[in-house]
């Protein structure tokens, strides 16, 4: 649920790619938008990746190779800390 001073928005599942939401205003109105989506939730990432391919680039200026390696290191340390071992 997302709440603010004028009401709230309830998203029942898949908050990252909702197919339904209920908007409740403080004045008592309720709106349930009926909007279809062709996205799977990663449309911006896929679009950026396709742009990189079209321009023959092998590294994103947004998520660089160094940043990717740093994220992998953080996840590796987190797995070690909780004792997660893959088969």
| pLDDT tens-digit series, residues 36-81 | 666 666 888 989 999 999 999 999 999 999 999 999 999 999 999 9
Asked if the structure places residue 73 within a domain, the reply is: yes
**Cβ contacts of 77 within 8 Å, gap of 6 or more:** none
Could you tell me the residue range of the domain that residue 25 belongs to? 2-31
Are residues 26 and 6 in contact, defined by beta-carbon separation less than 8 angstroms? yes
pLDDT given for residue 39 in this prediction? 67
Buried b (16+ CB within 10 A) or exposed e, 31-44: eeeeeeeeeeeeee
Asked if the structure places residue 87 within a domain, the reply is: no
Same domain, yes or no: 27 and 47: no
Are residues 21 and 35 in contact, defined by beta-carbon separation less than 8 angstroms? no
More confident residue, 54 or 15: 54
Q: How far apart are CA 29 and CA 14, in angstroms?
A: 24
Question: Whole-prediction pTM value?
Answer: 0.52
Same domain, yes or no: 48 and 75: yes
Asked if the structure places residue 18 within a domain, the reply is: yes
Same domain, yes or no: 47 and 78: yes
């Amino acid at each position: 649920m997302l709440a603010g001073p004028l009401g709230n928005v309830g998203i029942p599942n898949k908050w990252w790619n909702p197919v339904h939401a209920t908007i409740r205003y403080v004045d008592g109105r309720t709106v349930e938008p009926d909007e279809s989506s062709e996205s799977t939730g990663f449309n911006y990432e896929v679009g950026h990746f396709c742009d990189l391919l079209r321009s023959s680039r092998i590294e994103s200026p947004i998520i660089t190779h160094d940043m990717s390696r740093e994220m992998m290191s953080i996840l590796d340390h987190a797995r070690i800390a909780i004792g997660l071992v893959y088969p």
